[in-house]
Amino acid sequence: MRQRKWLLMTVGGLFMFFGKANAADLKVGDPAPDFTAPASDGSQVHLKDKIGSTPIVLYFYPKDDTPGCTKEACGLRDNFTAFRKLNATVYGISYDTVDSHREFIKKYNLPFLLLSDQDKKIAELYGAKGSLFAKRMTFVVDKTGKIAWLNPSVNPSTHSKELEEVLSKLQ
């Protein structure tokens, strides 16, 4: 009995600590929730203004310069030529500051913008909100502003190739 209670409390605590992915709230075909966020280049990215010309990749990740997040970002960097050929725009989103994003980009020579979601509102809109860190999730928004694809449990090692396949089908 004690072990079961301990297990339930531990699992519950982990969900409270890391949050629970709510991607089921957004489905393929739903309009992508609009947001404005500070970007690593000093600009403000307003999603509504970016919709129409290219598919948009919104990838949520927990923290700059941590092992899984670095693997994921560098995989996207290494395959970025393919994303350009597919006319895709890529944005990484985490709770980190713009300054932290700039350092991460500089250290790993990342060719895409990172958006700061310090108030966790974008992550909440997309079901990627966790208490301390954003959940690792990815959304592809098509040229009409609708969710074309989502992955609520991204594998950092295969993420880039998976996105390339998804984006090639949107052409």
> Which CATH number goes with the domain that contains 61?
3.40.30.10
The pLDDT confidence band at residue 131, using thresholds 50, 70 and 90, is: confident
pLDDT at 171: 77
- pLDDT at 12 exceeding the cut of 90: no
Catalytic residue among 69, 76, 122, 123: 69
Instruction: Please check whether residue 8 lies inside any domain of the structure.
Output: no
Whether residue 16 is contained in a domain is answered as no
For residue 163, tell me if it sits in a domain: yes
Q: How many domains does the chain have?
A: 1
Specify if 4 maps to a domain. Answer: no
Check if 69 is active-site: yes
Domain coverage including residue 155: 21-169
Bridge pairing between strands 113-116 and 89-94: parallel
Q: Rounded to two decimals, what is the model's pTM?
A: 0.85
**What band does 170 get if pLDDT is binned at 50, 70 and 90?**
confident
In this prediction, residues 103-109 reach a mean pLDDT of: 97
Q: Is the pLDDT of residue 111 over 90?
A: yes
Average pLDDT over residues 61-68: 96
* Confidence label for 53 from pLDDT (cuts 50, 70 and 90): confident
